[in-house]
Amino acid sequence: MALRARLAAHPRQLVPARSQVPRPEQIALLVRNIEREYGTVHRVTGPDDVPAAVGDYLSSHNLPSDFAMAPHPELQNLPWHVRPMLSIRVGRAMPSDLVSVQHGWAAVAETGTLVLPSAADRPTTLNLLSDTAIVVLRASRVVGAYEAAWDMMRAEWRDPLTGGFMPRNVMLVTGPSRSADIESVLELGAHGPRRLHVVLVDDDPAAKPAPV
Amino acid sequence: MLATSPAFKQNASDAMADSGLQKALTRTRAQLPARRAAAVAALPEFEQLRNIGRDIKNHTLANLDFYLETWEANVTRAGGQVHWCSTADDARAAVLAICERVGARTVTKGKSMISEELGINEHLEAHGIAPIETDLAEYILQLRREPPSHIIGPAFHLNREDWEASFRASHTHLPADRVFNEPRDIMAEARTLLREKFIGADVGITGANFLIAETGSSVIVTNEGNGDLTQTLPRVHIVLASIEKMVPTLEDATSLLRLLARSATGQDMSVYTTFSTGVRRDGDWDGPEEYHVVLIDNGRTGMIGTDFQEMLRCIRCAACMNHCPVYMTVGGHSYGWVYPGPMGSVLTPSLIGVDQAGQLPNASTFCGKCESVCPVKIPLPKLMRHWREREFERHLTPVAMRRNLGLWAWFARRPAAYRLATRVAAAMLGLLGRRRGKFAALPFAGGWTEGRDLPAPEGETFFARYAREQRAGRA
């Protein structure tokens, strides 16, 4: 019947034009939007540069060198040994953790939004409990609009419990935690992270900025 | 929650004399519309999205039974449980039963207006369970034992000195001589205290901005992250959601999300938009072991098929109250129940009765700003007019007002008498007021002239002048 057909087709409504641009511009839009929402972005040319980028970020902000990290193979396989001072605990975040490193599943350029579905290798607490949340994101995982991220989820994800495509928890994260409850003054770090830092790995040849 | 809506007039007078409230309202009066306008200007498709949002909600409401059943099947598949509750009593009992079964002593809560509507906190407290509000604004209101005054900024009516005073009075274990230099110092104190509560809670209760039939998900939208900590750390997650939160698909929810934050705070997107679907999966490091949705009707199905069905499109963005000259003058508490401003003036009579809330749809200048900013195009002034008609039909309108309306109607149906009466009145008032040009007081209009002067008519009615100028123009 018509209603079932509508659910099965899950038609897209209007997708704003702002994100329907060539790849390099999409990535630039993502970076611009994350920064506008009080996040920071550091672009690196390959996965091997991630440990140095994380280490440098922590030392430049006088942050501790120990952190909780998602047990995701893409993160665990990085050459962390190049930064022997970093002390990594793999697993979920604990309330005392000051820094966390999360695996970025995807990101939406339209509003600078990270897409972080929960999984055994992507604990939700890593998005929430630390003071400084670092997310490692590959440029090939950046899409223009939310609808493209849902399509990716439908194509890639099989939930172990339902057999469907929807993970238990999907967090769309746009900047660090904030509140303006006190006299409408915006303050960062209400309950979640005060800082959100994205290490963006340029793994997508089509997405690289044009040489100057 | 006990309604003080019947005392709206007194509430409004008190509010206008409340200097703290007036200070808070003055601070935000221009700010909120400007933020929304900037966000809307940055998205050229916004106007089209409003039509789409309206249509999605209309489609869902027209097929609500199908979508609710589909959604429930998907919740169940994901290990969750739906508790269907017709009344507020049913919903309170369902929440309490879950909390008692798991032996809960403390319950953390994300901001939820339906929770206020149901009076969940009072019910839990009466049964020895401590509810802890974790949204910064809801937290201070819980300390102060006050209801919210705004649906997205519940402590909208407070100033910084109120925050400081309440924190000093409540957090007596901290040094009395500590200094709050900045709002961030106040926030940091709440953050530290609430961290312990999040970790110690047995159950987390959140509301829902949307329910998604396609996936069986509930969606919450926050900026603080408190809702996420509430639903991630305790062993049990309870979602409170009313039936009209339903949307068919992720794409539909996405379209409404594009409208929600822009209309509410002028953000493109709130910081945390989280889709929850069932219980912790095998291998997960975190997440609730139980996932319950307490699905609440509490009067909504009675609105379906009536003039007021359109109100069920509301996505609770608060744009209508942010742009309302009445709300921005009298504040949210004057409305006397959970939902203030234009949306409250339509919804409250539907949910608690026009006999209780009949004054609210009258508290409108009918400027139409609310409808012009509503992201799902609810014709709020028209719906308020419907309530005025119902109030009149049920003889709930005050006698003096009925008598005056009757008098006006008599003249309005007799144009010759109307013109004669207005000509006499304008001539007399013009004569009496010629010297000063205005009236500081008039018989039978003391309430009106208390706050302003009435300019004296120049002695001629509009009809007479129009007729004279038409003649002159032709000549």
Q: What is the CATH number of the domain that holds A177?
A: 3.40.50.10420
Do residues A179 and B223 lie in contact, with contact meaning Cβ atoms separated by under 8 Å? Answer: yes
Q: State the pairing for strand pair A113-117/A106-108.
A: antiparallel
Which residues, other chains included, contact B349 with Cβ-Cβ below 8 Å and sequence gap of 6+?
A: B356, B357, B358, B360, B361, B387, B390
Classified as helix, coil or strand, B447 is helix
d(CA A56, CA B236): 39
In a mutational test of the A interface, the residue from B222, B284, B291, B376 whose CB has the highest number of chain A CBs within 10 Å is: B284
Q: What is the pLDDT of residues B81-100, one digit of tens each?
A: 999 999 999 999 999 999 99
> Using an 8 Å Cβ cutoff, are A141 and A106 in contact?
yes
* Chain A residues whose beta carbon lies within 8 Å of the beta carbon of residue B48: 14
Count Cβ atoms below 10 Å from residue A147 Cβ, excluding itself. 22
**B210 contacts B225 by C-beta, under 8 angstroms:** no
CA distance B300 to B312: 8
Domain final residue pick, B250, B278, B296? B296
Query: To 10 degrees, the CA torsion angle through B163, B164, B165, B168?
Result: 120
% residues pLDDT > 70 (chain B):
99
If asked whether residues B121 and B257 sit together in one domain, one would say yes
What was the pLDDT predicted at B432?
83
Q: Which residue has the tokens 């904030």?
A: A178
Asked if A16's CB is within 8 angstroms of B43's CB, the reply is yes
Q: What angle do CA B391, B394, B396 make, to 5 degrees?
A: 60
Q: Quick one: which of A137, A120, A128 has its CA closest to A71?
A: A120
The total number of structural domains in chain A stands at: 1
User: What are the residues whose beta carbons fall under 8 Å from the beta carbon of B461, sequence distance 6 or more?
Assistant: B419, B422, B423, B426
Q: How far apart, in whole angstroms, are the C-alpha atoms of residue B170 and residue B158?
A: 16
DSSP B2: -
Quote the domain boundaries for residue B436. Answer: 410-474
Q: How far apart are alpha carbons B55 and B60 in whole angstroms?
A: 8
Strand (E) positions, chain A?
A: 40-44, 66-69, 87-90, 99-103, 106-108, 113-117, 132-138, 142-143, 169-173, 178-179, 187-188, 195-201
Question: Is A156 a member of any domain?
Answer: yes
Q: What is the pLDDT of residues B160-173, one digit of tens each?
A: 999 999 999 999 99
What distance in Å separates the CA atoms of residue B107 and residue B197, rounded to the nearest whole number?
Answer: 9
Q: Which helix (H) or strand (E) holds B83?
A: strand B81-85
**Environment class of A168 (CB within 10 Å of its CB; exposed 0-12, middle 13-18, buried 19+):** buried
Residues 6+ apart with CB under 8 A from B438: B453, B454, B455, B456
Distance, CA of B388 to CA of A161 (rounded, Å) = 52
Measured between CA atoms, the residue of chain B closest to residue A168 is B277
What is the band of B401 on the pLDDT scale with cuts at 50, 70, 90?
A: confident
Does residue B433 surpass a pLDDT of 90? no
Question: Is the distance from CB of B340 to CB of B332 less than 8 angstroms?
Answer: yes
Contacts of A182 in chain B (CB under 8 A): 136, 155, 160, 163, 183, 186-187
Q: pLDDT confidence of B449, banded at 50, 70, 90?
A: confident
Q: Are B327 and B295 in contact (CB under 8 A)?
A: no
Which pLDDT band, with edges at 50, 70 and 90, does B441 fall under?
A: confident
Evaluate if residue B122 carries a pLDDT over 90.
yes
Residue range B274-285, pLDDT digits in tens: 999 999 999 999
Structural domain span for residue A114? 23-204
Question: Among residues B240, B264, B296, which one ends one of the domains?
Answer: B296
State which residues of chain A have pLDDT below 70. Answer: 209-212
Does some domain include residue B346?
Answer: no
- B84 and B221 in a single domain? The answer is yes
Last residue of a domain, one of B296, B314, B338: B296
Residue of A120, A110, A123, A122 lying closest to A150 (CA atoms): A110
Burial of B139 (C-beta count, 10 Å sphere; 0-12/13-18/19+) = buried
Q: What is the pLDDT of residues A69-94, one digit of tens each?
A: 999 999 999 999 999 999 999 999 99
CA angle B280, B282, B283 (to 5 degrees): 100
Does residue A190 fall inside a structural domain? Answer: yes
Give A165 to chain B, closest Cα distance, Å: 8
Q: Say which residues have a Cβ less than 8 Å from residue B463's Cβ, sequence separation at least 6.
A: B419, B422
Tell me whether residue B204 is exposed, middle or buried, using C-beta atoms within 10 angstroms of its C-beta: 0 to 12, 13 to 18, 19 or more. Answer: buried
CATH code for the domain of B143: 3.40.50.10420
With respect to residue B443, please indicate whether it lies within any of the assigned structural domains.
Answer: yes
Q: What is the pLDDT of residue B153?
A: 93
Which pLDDT does position B200 carry in this prediction? 93
What's the pLDDT at B167?
96
Q: What is the pLDDT of residues B321-366, one digit of tens each?
A: 999 999 999 999 999 999 999 999 999 999 999 999 999 999 999 9
Q: Is the pLDDT of residue B444 over 80?
A: no
Do B289 and B414 sit in the same domain of this protein?
no
Q: What is the 3-state secondary structure (H, E, C) of B201-231?
A: CCEEEECCCEEECCCCEEEEEECCCHHHHHH
Please say whether the dihedral angle defined by the alpha carbons of residues B310, B312, B313 and B319, taken in this order, is positive or negative: positive
Answer yes or no: do B72 and B206 share one domain. yes
Average pLDDT of chain B is 94
User: Does a structural domain hold residue B278?
Assistant: yes
Mutate to test the interface with B, among A102, A108, A154, A191 (most CBs of B within 10 A): A191
pLDDT tens for each residue of B245-283 = 999 999 999 999 999 999 999 999 999 999 999 999 999
Domain count, chain B: 2
Q: What is the mean pLDDT of residues B49-66?
A: 98
Contact A178/B224, CB-based, under 8 Å? yes
User: What pLDDT band is residue B436 in, cutting at 50, 70 and 90?
Assistant: confident
Is the per-residue pLDDT at B430 higher than 60?
Answer: yes
Interface touch B191/A190, C-beta < 8 Å: yes
* Residue B341 forms part of a structural domain: no
Q: State mean pLDDT over B460-464.
A: 84
Question: In chain B, what's the furthest Cα-to-Cα distance?
Answer: 92
How far apart are the CA of B366 and the nearest CA of chain A, in angstroms?
Answer: 28
